[in-house]
Chains A and B, each alone.
Chain A
Amino acid sequence: MRDRWGKKAFQAAAATTILILGGLTLFLFQEGLPTLWKSPYEGVTYAVHPQNPLPHLSPEAVQALVRGETTWTALGGPEAPVVPVYLANLDRYVSAHAPAPLFKHILDSLATLPGVLFALPPSLLPARTKPIDVPWNGWKALFASARWSPTYEPIPSVGVWSLLIGSLWVSAIGLLVVVPLGIAMAVYVVEFLPKKLYYAIKMLWEVLAGLPSVVVGFWGLMVLVPWIQKIFHLEDGETALTAGILLGWMTLPLMASLVEEALQAIPPLLIESSYGLGATQWQTILRLKLPYIMPSIFTATLLSAGRILGETMVVLIVSGNAPLLSWSPLMPVRTLPATLAAELGEAPVGSYHYHVLFFLGIILFLITVSLNALAYVIQPKTRSA
């Protein structure tokens, strides 16, 4: 009887977990995928002066015109200065408190400028203008650009490459720190540490693992950032390297305990045989123990990678957060989770910015899932070898 209830309880727990996980995944995709077909300027019509000969404009051209990086002449348009008029900058021309007739009058007179570029809801658009097509391509915006400026008006830049590369840098450096150090620490604890100190060290690990990441991040900003700055003679110590080192250090307890558990679980018979054959302690460690636990080391590495990839607070504080295409670990980076944390708070629900942030979530999710899948595929092979 009790067994049956136990089974039922487990079934219920499993079903709930699957439902919740499935629901979360579904939600993630439901909110993120619209990025691919939704345009950031829905409900806004682009219009130019009737004599402007251009039939259509690319979103990049609109951005360049507004930013002042190109001129109408360069695009084959009229020889006139660009006058962009969009919702966010309207009060440069007219007070939002202006009475309706004045408001309309000012918009009408703006429409007479040959270089004007309107991006307004159709209800506000002056009559004597020529609508112009600005075709939006979601894939292109996400993957053909490296610029991340998701709240720029009238058209945001949402290239994900700088964020992806930022995440890759930080994870790679973090793993370079945590994998050798984690293995070394575990081997030391199992092989050389006096039994009396064992529990003290274990406790220290647990304390380290329990440190709130915001504390680690702030410590990094106060101490590690100036060090990095001094050691490498940089103008600024907030770099991918700083974040990577801190993350590696934070993940150390996880990595070390996983490796340690694996080391403890090696059948004593094997170890004794090794010693019996005359192998020294070092030979046993290098030739028997480490190769034997290779699959566990691999799993531990992947788990650490997942932890590092998803860590938010530390990178937010010490990585500089500049959305650059970094080619060196000594440059500031902006990672995927840091971007989510910094921006999701004020992205209005349902806006393009909101969907893009969820799309970043999908990318992060896919990376993690494929890492786990990789672990699953490779693990049995190494074990049989």
Chain B
Amino acid sequence: MWRWGIALLLLSCSRRELLRIKGSDTVLPLSQAFAEAYMMYYKAPLISVTGGGSGVGIAALLNGDTDIAMSSRPLKLSERLRFQEKGRTLIEDTVAWDVLALCVHPSNPIERLTRSQIADIYTGKIRNWKELGGPDLPILPYSRESSSGTFEFFREHVLRGKDFASDVRFIPATGMMVQSVSQTPGAIGYIGVAYVRPGVKVLAVAQDGDTAYCYPARSRKELSRYPIARPLYYYYDQTRAPALAPFLRFIHSDTSKALVTQVGYIP
């Protein structure tokens, strides 16, 4: 009991030292790993990491409710304008790369797709695997919910701003997406490469035109060849940079690079 009391006391004393990180659920596991390692090595400030989504983190940064906003998409122009109005300068820091894997049911003979074929599937132009050289089986596209940064990235970069067809199934969490795809023969879904499990088959994807088909990248070198990868960002206010410097130096160290790989992203 008294131990909890002391912990609480310490917590309240060190409140000024609390470093707050908030935002994207995609970046969340990475930030948690960073925070745990950092607190273990340096025993210095307490770090609180909260999810909620990219937009939530950036809004919190604007209101001063967080020190670092995690984001799985670049700042929107509208958000940038809002920071400009307040006369604040943001610094963008790429902490890792996330690679989206397209996956299907293991019984599906399809091995590869181009970006525009994927867009046609999700916008409802292609509705049967037959049209892609597969079996005569209706395609069941699965997508993440519209609240996730992954959804927005997918819509902007794979669908090129076109809208999802209305029969696309929306799944609230990545784990459930894997579950659904693994038990539905006609399914296709997109997930962060960190979440790929046995039970789903990952497809090779090519950018349009004559580029080669490529499986999801596992290293920085392969990134340029795989079309569906995105950087993950930390955003923070320029004025807070000196205070955050030790932590930011830490996350770009070699130790942290190993952490990034462990979590399933590319450093």
Contacts from A to B (Cβ < 8 Å): 63, 66-68, 84, 87-92, 96, 121, 146-153, 157, 162, 221-222, 225-226, 229, 235-238, 316-317, 320-324, 332, 334, 341-343, 345-348
Candidates A84, A91, A237, A321; contact of B74 at CB < 8 Å:
A91
Nearest-neighbour CB distance to chain A for B217, whole angstroms, equals 22
Judging by beta carbons under 8 Å apart, are B74 and A225 in contact? Answer: no
Tell whether B187 is near chain A: CB-to-CB under 8 Å.
yes
- Known A162-B166, A324-B166; judge A96-B80 contact (CB<8 A): yes
CA distance A89 to B172 in the complex (A): 25
The answer for the CA separation of A96 and B171 in the assembled complex, in Å, is 31
Q: Is B106 an interface residue (CB 8 A)?
A: no
A108 to B81, CA, bound (A): 19
Q: Which of B77, B146, B183 contacts A150 (CB 8 A)?
A: B146
Residues of A within 8 A of B160 (CB): 92
A89 to B52, CA, bound (A): 24
Cα-based distance from A153 to B184 in the complex (angstroms): 31
Q: Does B145 contact A (CB under 8 A)?
A: yes
A168 to B207, CA, bound (A): 42
B167 at interface (Cβ–Cβ under 8 A)? yes
Indicate which residue in A91, A235, A346 contacts B53 across the interface (CB closer than 8 Å): A346
Chain B positions within 8 Å of A152 at CB level = 163
The answer to whether B163 touches A96 (Cβ under 8 A) is no
Q: How far is the CA of A68 from the CA of B160 in the complex (A)?
A: 11
Residues of chain A with a CB closer than 8 A to B186's CB:
235-236
Residues in chain B near residue A87, CB distance under 8 A: 76-78
State the interface size on chain B (CB cutoff 8 A): 41
By the criterion CB–CB under 8 Å, are B180 and A149 in contact?
A: no
- Complex Cα–Cα for A66 and B162 (A): 7
In the assembly, what is the distance between CA of A152 and CA of B152, in Å? 10
| Chain A residues within an 8 Å CB radius of B172 | 316-317, 321, 341-342
Point out the residue from A146, A150, A321 that lies within 8 Å of B171, measured CB to CB.
A321
**Distance in angstroms between the alpha carbons of A346 and B144 in the assembled complex:** 13
Q: Which residues of B contact A317 (CB under 8 A)?
A: 172, 176
Which of chain B's residues have a CB closer than 8 A to the CB of A221? 176, 179-180
Residues in B neighbouring A347, C-beta threshold 8 A: 147
Given contacts A88-B77, A225-B180, A345-B53, 16 further A-B contacts (CB under 8 A): A63-B163, A67-B163, A68-B162, A87-B77, A89-B161, A225-B183, A235-B140, A236-B186, A321-B145, A323-B170, A345-B52, A345-B147, A346-B53, A346-B55, A346-B56, A346-B146
Cα of A89 to Cα of B78 in the assembled complex, Å: 11
Smallest Cβ distance from B121 to chain A, in angstroms?
14
Q: Which residues of B contact A323 (CB under 8 A)?
A: 166, 170
Across the interface, which residues of A come within 8 angstroms of B184, CB to CB? Answer: 229, 235-238
Q: Are B167 and A322 in touch, CB under 8 angstroms?
A: yes
B204 contacts partner chain A, Cβ-Cβ < 8 Å: no
What are 14 contact pairs spanning A and B, CB under 8 A? A87-B76, A88-B77, A88-B156, A96-B77, A96-B80, A150-B146, A151-B146, A237-B183, A322-B166, A324-B166, A332-B167, A341-B172, A345-B53, A346-B147
Interface residues of B in 132-179 (CB under 8 A from A): 137-138, 140, 145-148, 152, 156, 160-164, 166-172, 176, 179
CA distance A270 to B212 in the complex (A): 83
Nearest-CB distance from A157 to chain B (Å)? 8
Are A96 and B74 interface neighbours, CB within 8 A? yes
Q: Is B37 an interface residue (CB 8 A)?
A: no
Contacts of B176 in A (CB 8 A): 221, 317
State how many angstroms separate the Cβ of B241 from the closest Cβ of chain A.
18
Contact of A235 with B147 in the complex, beta carbons under 8 Å: no
Closest 3 CB pairs of A and B: A346-B147, A321-B170, A346-B53
CB-CB under 8 A for A343 and B146, given A236-B169, A323-B166: yes
Known contacts A90-B77, A91-B77, A96-B80; A148 and B166 CB within 8 A of each other: yes
Determine the residue in chain B with the shortest Cβ distance to A68.
Answer: B162
Distance between Cα atoms of A343 and B156 in the complex (Å): 19
Q: A87-B77, A236-B187 are in contact. Are A343 and B145 (CB under 8 A)?
A: yes
- Complex: how many Å from CA A150 to CA B140? 21
Which of B52, B74, B145, B168 is close to A342, meaning CB atoms less than 8 Å apart? B145
CB distance from B186 to the nearest CB of A (A): 5
Contact call B169/A149, Cβ cutoff below 8 A: no
Asked if B263 lies at the interface with its beta carbon under 8 angstroms from chain A, I say no
| A147 vs B164: C-alpha distance when bound (angstroms) | 11
Q: Are B52 and A238 within 8 A (Cβ)?
A: no
